[in-house]
């Protein structure tokens, strides 16, 4: 049986969406039903999401619920190399600095936001 620490190490997919109604950001984990949070800034949204994931997992373990493992972790590494124009690299670096997050987190946010606009592939 897995422990909380075991589940926290698994690469659960985090989906980040901008909240056009209330402002700020909404974050969820598709493999953890009902695990959702929000925040005013992207940085706070990511931090709140990690806290929400831990609380969700703690509650599920305490209640003896079955916890799904991440679907994509068995098929994909979560890494790829990307070449881009220097001007785009500079722009991404500057925007991520303005948000107070790493360029990796910022690019992940942009990719997730764009990917959410398209239906899931099965």
pLDDT tens digits, one per residue of 18-59: 988 888 999 999 999 999 999 999 999 999 999 999 999 999
Residue 13 CA: distances (Å) to CA of 63, 87, 97: 23, 29, 24
- DSSP annotation of 70 reads P
Question: Model's pTM, two decimal places?
Answer: 0.59
pLDDT for residue 73:
47
pLDDT range class, residue 122, cuts 50, 70, 90: very low
């Amino acid at each position: 049986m897995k422990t909380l620490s075991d589940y926290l190490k698994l690469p659960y997919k985090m989906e980040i969406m901008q909240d056009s109604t209330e402002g700020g950001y909404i974050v969820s984990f598709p493999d953890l039903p009902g695990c959702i949070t929000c925040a005013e800034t992207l940085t706070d949204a990511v931090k709140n999401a990690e806290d929400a994931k831990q609380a969700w997992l703690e509650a599920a373990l305490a209640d003896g619920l079955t916890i799904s493992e991440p679907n994509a972790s068995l098929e994909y590494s979560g890494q790829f190399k990307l070449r881009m124009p220097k001007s785009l690299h500079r722009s991404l670096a500057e925007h991520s600095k303005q948000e107070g997050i790493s360029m990796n987190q910022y690019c992940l946010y942009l990719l997730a936001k764009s990917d959410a606009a398209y239906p899931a592939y099965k």
